[in-house]
Structure 1
Amino acid sequence: MTAPAIAARGISKSFGGVKALTRASIAVARGRVHALVGENGAGKSTLIKILGGRIPPDEGTVEMADGGLRVGTVFQELTLLPFMTVAENLLLGREPRTGLGLIDRAAMPAIAEAELAGLGITHIDTRALAADISLAERQIIEIARVIMSEPQVLLLDEPTSALVEREVAWLFGQIRALREKGAAIVFTSHRWGEITSIADEITIFRNGTDVGTFTSIAEDEAITLMTGQKLDAVFPPRDAPPAAPARLTLRGARAEGTGLLDLDLHPGEILGIGGLAGHGHRALFFGLFGAPGFREGRVEIDGKPVRIASSRDAMRAGIALVPEDRKSEGLFLSLSVRDNFTLPILRRLSRFGILRLGAERALVAENIRRLAVRTPSAAQRVGALSGGNQQKVLLGRWLMTQSRILLLYDVTRGVDVATKHEIYELVAGLAREGYAILFYSSDAEELAHLCHRVKVMRRGAFVAEIAAADLSAEAIVAAAMRESGQKEVPNAA
């Protein structure tokens, strides 16, 4: 390997009583892609923030070739300003000016559109507010904004977590182009296939320390190094659900963004919802949670018609939703782990309007133990936890409500392989306890190995149902793309 463009040597960093990094080191050469892998909380994001100059280390040094190079960082937490347009976010700090020196707002959408087109992005409305475009589109704008700065060192922290396969291919094309120009690139992902397809070197982190750098390593060996233990299998065994009447039934139901939908979900069943992104999955899940509800059709729970016009109606009916974007749609990041767990059940934990603190503490402690949430204490701010532990808190919150119908929408997005395994075991265990689980994933392998059957959506309608005996990732993808014998890849969701 040639002399490093950027290197971290003996980096240590603590946040309060939590050690994020302990004497960690990494060296990245020009024209190379260097992947960092490890569990959530292993220190990868902290190291990227230190390399990018966002936070200082407690110990150690960061060295850069030639006394300094242009560094661009795509952080795990998106930094777009939600109530500014795509164009305003993209051109922030380099806005076009009129002859009087004022910002030329009228010219900004066309300029931004041309710049995005130069990167092969033509489907995002530059006049739209950042808050109104999809999570994947926000991620693409975040990446594009950094790439346009022509960085010599590019730091990418989980850039693919919200992207579908087509968008990942676009990003990897951009990475390869920068690599050809001699840029040094640091890349993190929890998808092993992405790591092996793009990385020249792989550094594995465990508990804040680098435990090895490799040009090639098998996935099972990497998992052992990441976790300190061997996983017998990534997915738990799939038990057949008991024969029972449907817990949740849809008949001729239509939400904004779907056609007429029929569905039966049984107790003890994990029913997968698959298909290419942007074909109505989100509308189905949010429709069932009343955000907004279905416009027409019939919804039944245990054979009885129910009206779900709001999230309050859904919760009263025993329905819980875990959304894909835990940071903006699920958790209150500034509140404690305890408060995030118990917020929906404060009435149940109160007597005469006074919170029973002992009962709350006991219930939270039980769920922290049950879900293996890694946190210094229940008082820890949930925003300070790793992504996988945040997801466990969000799941635990809804389990506390005793809802028996769980809508799990891409719950393993941005979660490391060991925590994914824990979530798979939890979901399978909940099914065995009789929960009825509707499960959407952008990962066809998850659907194929975890679900009892999968219904595939296309253009807002169910176009196929695949039974357990026939389930495979290939069958799910084929059903999603099949239309009169033709294959199609839609615009990014």
Structure 2
Amino acid sequence: MTDQTAVHAEGVDRSFGGVRALRDASFSARPGEIHALAGENGAGKSTMIKVLCGLVRPDKGTVRVTGRLATAFQELSLLPDLTVAENLLLHDPPRGRFGLVARRRLVPVAGRILSDHGIHDLDPAAVTRDLSVAHRQVVELVRVLATRPEVLVLDEPTAALQEQQVAWLAAHMRRLREEGCCVVFTSHRWREIEALADRVTVFRNGTHVTTRSRLTESEAVTLMSGRTLEATYPPLAPPQDTVALEARVGEVDITVRRGEIVGIGGLAGQGQRELFLRLFGIGRQQVTVGGVRTTIRRPKDAIRAGIGIAYVPEDRKAEGLLLPMSVRDNLALATLERRSVAGFVRRAAERAAVQGVVDRLAVRAASTAHPVGTLSGGNQQKVLMGRWLLSGAEVLLLFDVTRGVDAATKHDFYVLVAGLAAQGRAVLLYSSETEEIAHLCHRVLVMREGRVAATLDGPVGDAERIVAAAMKEHQHV
């Protein structure tokens, strides 16, 4: 690592409508270092990255980048209807006679690129939309790694990745550092920052706070949020005896009591996502809710009064929110009928209900009339959670709801989920961070190959117990 500067920004301001994302902000990173950019959701990290990459023009300030630059964003830029090979080679496809694209060579060339980067479980001929979010993120990362950049900027690159994929990316980041590349990344997983970063820059309210080579998580949270982080996981109230949800999905029997948080653990891709989708009506499913047996044929059946099942997905942008629509409209979407008379929405009632949820969840938005797509990732997730709070759903299916959320906001979500359970809501929880399942659940069902391989009474407390259980035959611990 040298004293030379690879990327440098100084005195940068940038506003979006009434929201000032950057305020006289500065940032610099060197060749041959891994530099983490940390801060709460809405602190200005992603905006600074877009300024550095030239995607957003600053209102004022100076920016300098030295060397070939490549970027991978949290919002995937892949074209879903193209194959993996076509996406990987979109900007530099193999060509034949007369400069035409040699389509027969796309799959073999893409296969070699994937293999050269240690990826052997992806079919280059697969259509991108059929891939999991994690595999789509891997394709996005391989595409930028293959350009051999001198400056690599990664915005929340691990948010959608599973643990083995995080380790794969970390190895590539370290290799690039040894080759003299400047790697700038953001992450809300502090253990990744501690393990990878040579230096950490903290942003707060759009302004540079500090740059240090050593920083503990508690120190970082205080610098990012201005408050001291309390105990990470809140205490859990005991669940009630009344069963809220019963169902058999494939080979999985699910029973969740009122006031109970049941974790769904196991290695990635073991049927967890399919379980959640089936319970929400993606495919015909019989369930017993509140003692009443019923058939759910579509999500509308799950949402309706008397059933009250809500689903918060991992991909909030593609599956949860309507990004061009306002914060207010997104919050009220599931409850329009309750605030309508003769087909007309009672706007006063809607505004009052929406504002109550915005205040309760501390959603940071200049106005509820602004498009939800202008909010930070954490605030978008709050809006999605708020929608189901407005619905009064008694059963909450929470699928990786803290993905891409900063440490302080994660704690707020933990408190919210524990509080909802204490009020009698039934919660089914999946997280790509096994530690969350280990500490936040009354009971954990560990899945393997579409069935329950182990049932652990909780809070488990030790994430390694859940991983170990995923490797064994069915057991009750």
Partner of 1:72: 70
Partner of 1:138: 136
> How far did 1:403 drift?
1.3
Question: Pairwise mapping of residues 304-453 of structure 1 onto structure 2 (< 5 A)?
Answer: 304-316=292-304, 317-453=307-443
Partner of 2:243: 246
- 1:337–1:393 contact (8 Å) kept in structure 2: yes
Q: Relative to structure 2, which stretch is displaced further, 98-107 or 356-365? A: 98-107
Q: Structure 2: how far apart are the matches of 1:375 and 1:484? A: 47
Residues 219-238 of structure 1: CA deviation (Å, up to 9, x unaligned):
11111101101022111112
> How far did 1:437 drift?
0.6
User: What TM-score do the two structures reach when normalised by structure 1?
Assistant: 0.93
> How far did 1:241 drift?
1.5
Q: Secondary structure at the match of 1:287?
A: helix
Identity %: 53
The code of the aligned residue for 1:247 comes to A
- 1:45–1:76 contact (8 Å) kept in structure 2: no
- 1:453–1:471 contact (8 Å) kept in structure 2: no
Q: Secondary structure at the match of 1:412?
A: coil
Q: Secondary structure at the match of 1:348?
A: helix
Q: Secondary structure at the match of 2:147?
A: coil
Q: Structure 2: how far apart are the matches of 1:179 and 1:314? A: 49
Question: Pairwise mapping of residues 192-341 of structure 1 onto structure 2 (< 5 A)?
Answer: 192-242=190-240, 244-251=241-248, 253-254=249-250, 260-294=251-285, 298-316=286-304, 317-341=307-331
- 2:308–2:395 contact (8 Å) kept in structure 1: yes
Question: Pairwise mapping of residues 89-108 of structure 1 onto structure 2 (< 5 A)?
Answer: 89-108=87-106
Q: Secondary structure at the match of 2:350?
A: helix
> How far did 1:302 drift?
2.2
Residues 364-414 of structure 1: CA deviation (Å, up to 9, x unaligned):
111111111111111011001011110011011112122111000000000
Q: Secondary structure at the match of 1:292?
A: coil
Question: Pairwise mapping of residues 119-158 of structure 1 onto structure 2 (< 5 A)?
Answer: 119-158=117-156
> How far did 1:484 drift?
9.7
The code of the aligned residue for 2:293 comes to P
Label 1:198 to 1:313 Cα distance change in 2 as closer, same or farther (>3 A). same
Q: Secondary structure at the match of 2:97?
A: coil
Q: Structure 2: how far apart are the matches of 1:358 and 1:381? A: 20
> How far did 1:471 drift?
4.0
- 2:441–2:459 contact (8 Å) kept in structure 1: no
Q: Structure 2: how far apart are the matches of 1:11 and 1:31? A: 25
Label 1:173 to 1:483 Cα distance change in 2 as closer, same or farther (>3 A). farther
Q: Secondary structure at the match of 1:163?
A: coil
Q: Secondary structure at the match of 2:276?
A: helix
Q: Structure 1: how far apart are the matches of 2:207 and 2:459? A: 43
Label 1:300 to 1:484 Cα distance change in 2 as closer, same or farther (>3 A). closer
Partner of 1:257: none
Q: Secondary structure at the match of 2:337?
A: coil
- 1:326–1:394 contact (8 Å) kept in structure 2: yes
> How far did 1:346 drift?
1.3
Partner of 1:491: none
Q: How many residues matched?
A: 472
- 1:280–1:458 contact (8 Å) kept in structure 2: yes
Q: Structure 2: how far apart are the matches of 1:155 and 1:340? A: 31
The code of the aligned residue for 1:364 comes to V
Q: Structure 2: how far apart are the matches of 1:230 and 1:484? A: 42
Partner of 1:29: 30
> How far did 1:443 drift?
1.1
The runs of 5 or more residues in structure 2 that have no matched partner are none
The code of the aligned residue for 1:120 comes to G
Question: Are residues 1:7 and 2:8 paired?
Answer: yes
- 1:234–1:421 contact (8 Å) kept in structure 2: yes
> How far did 1:276 drift?
0.6
Partner of 1:490: none
Q: Secondary structure at the match of 1:160?
A: coil
Q: Secondary structure at the match of 2:177?
A: helix
Q: Structure 1: how far apart are the matches of 2:49 and 2:86? A: 26
Q: Structure 1: how far apart are the matches of 2:447 and 2:296? A: 22
Q: Secondary structure at the match of 1:128?
A: coil
Residues 73-124 of structure 1: CA deviation (Å, up to 9, x unaligned):
1112110011111111100121112213321212211110111101011111
Q: Considering only aligned residues, what root-mean-square deviation do their CA atoms show, in Å? A: 1.4
Q: Structure 2: how far apart are the matches of 1:145 and 1:468? A: 41
Partner of 1:168: 166
Question: Are residues 1:52 and 2:42 paired?
Answer: no
The code of the aligned residue for 1:411 comes to V
Q: Structure 2: how far apart are the matches of 1:101 and 1:224? A: 56
